[in-house]
Amino acid sequence: MNLVKNSKQEVSIDYLKGAYDISNPPIPFFSNQDFYRVVIELSSPLTGYLGRIPGAATSGDRFHYLRDL
């Protein structure tokens, strides 16, 4: 979340996944699809932590910060 908040621009799912992987995560995701599902949930209207601009494919989606967790 802080990565998106501090970036000052929209970021892709690949950017988020790469940053998560090198951050020594306590829970490694088994696939890119699992990670994508979590980010989509954070951008859902029910949670609203991230904004999402859909792309042509899952890797084309762009995300931006809306509010803190």
Does the domain at 2-65 match CATH 1.10.287? Answer given as no
Q: What is the pLDDT of residue 58?
A: 67
In tens, the pLDDT along 5-32 reads 888 788 888 888 888 888 888 877 778 8
What would the DSSP string read from start to end of the chain? -HHHHHHSS-EEHHHHHHHHHTT--SS--SSHHHHHHHHHHHTSTTT-SEEEE--SSGGG-EEEE----
